[in-house]
Each structure stands twice: as C-alpha cells, then as structure tokens.
Amino acid sequence: MTCRESADLGAYVLGALPPAERSAVERHVADCPHCTRELVLLAPLPGLLRHTPFDELPDSGPPLPRAGARTRPGKAPAVPRLRSRRVLLAAGATVSAAGVVLAVLIGTAGQGGHEDRAGTRATAVTLSRTDPATHVSASMDLTAEPWGTSVRLRLAHLPPGVVCRLVVHSREGRSETSGTWASDYTGGSTLTIPASTSISPQDIVGLDVVTAANDVLVTVP
C-alpha cells in the first residue's frame, strides 16, 4: 500500500517545504498510517545528508549558438547532451544518498551501536528524562559515528496524533533538526524513532522533542 502524498515527505524532513505545504503534510500524516511509517524511516536523513559527499554539478554549459548560425548536419547540439549529463549526475547523487541512508538504517536497526573494523561494538550513551508538566518520557541512545551521532529515541506518553521533531543543540550554539515523525497511537504506548545528527556526542548539550506548534514536550538531559 502506498500513498501519493508520501512524495512530499522527503522534502518535509529536510525543511524544504513552504509553511503552507508543511502544515498540509503535518495534517495528512496525523491521519495516514502509511506516511507515519515513512516518516520514521526518513527521520535520519537530515543528519546523514550533511556528511554525504556529492560531486559538484557543472554550473553552466557552453554558450548557445547565435540565432541563424549554421550547425553541421547530422551532429546533435552539445547543450542537450550536457543537460542529460546534469540529470544523470543529479540522479546518481540521489542514489548515492539513498544508499548511505539504507546502509545506516540496516546497520543500526535493533542495535545499540555500530561495530568498528576490529569488531568492537561502539558504546552508546543513554540519556533519559520525564517532563513533569507534559508527562512525556524520553530515552535516547547516542552513538558516535564518523559523520556525527546516531540516535535511537524512545518516547512514551506522547499525545496522540501530533507531529514532532527532535532538535539537537551543540556547545557552539548550533541547533539541528535530526528527525521528524508523527504519533498515531493512544497514550501509554512507546514509540521508537531512529534519528541522526552531524553533531558529535561530546558536543551535544541538549535535545528537545518539539511539536509542529513549537511546544517543547520534553528536554534531555
């Protein structure tokens, strides 16, 4: 089963949608189990893409021929070929990013950390807190990665039908959204979310679970 609205989810988690479209996606996700599951899978994208190397696309092609200029018969113009090359390069970059995301999701699913070349499991730092006002509980496993930090987030007592995001704060004062998802259950259940950030564990000073209305549900630590 698929949903045609899921095509906008990638742009949503990357913050590329204008406010009106973003609000529309949030309303849709609250009522669509398929898109809710897709958001969970896409949650690690923002952090991963910050450290995905893409080959620089050409800025411009050769100048277009002047109006009325003759071209050799049987020889295709150079501009369409360059345009095709740009499309192929862009497609290749997209496939590369998807491959990185898939590899990380497979490598971290169900695990508390990754293994290095020597076979040693990386140690995850676990942070937990329950907000006394909202009663939302959060437990986060932070694992150092070459590109930053992988996060395994477990939440309990979220209000049903809310769209949330995880915001990570660094020592330098930088904030980064590392995951976006929706709760589709009744209160009391636990939701597990994979996320990622380009900020290394030792530079993380706080993590907020924030609603689409910018209400902070819980802050860790």
Cross-strand pairs, 34 = none
pLDDT tens digit at each of 221 positions of the chain: 468 777 788 777 766 777 678 778 877 877 787 887 777 677 666 666 655 555 544 555 555 555 455 555 555 544 444 443 433 333 343 333 433 333 333 333 334 444 444 444 467 899 999 999 999 999 999 999 888 898 989 999 988 878 888 999 999 999 998 877 776 555 556 888 888 888 999 999 999 999 988 999 999 98
Pick from 139, 145, 140: which is nearest to 113 by CA?
145
DSSP string for residues in the chain? ---GGGGGHHHHHTT-S-HHHHHHHHHHHHH-HHHHHHHHHHTTHHHHHTT---PPPPS--SPPPPTT----TT---HHHHHHHHHHHHHHHHHHHHHHHHHHHHHHHTT-SS-B-TT-PBPPPEEEEEE-TTT--EEEEEEEEETTEEEEEEEEESPPTT-EEEEEEEETTS-EEEEEEEE--S-TT-EEEEEEEESS-GGGEEEEEEEETT--EEEEE-
> Does pTM surpass 0.95?
no
Domain range list for the chain: 4-50+110-220
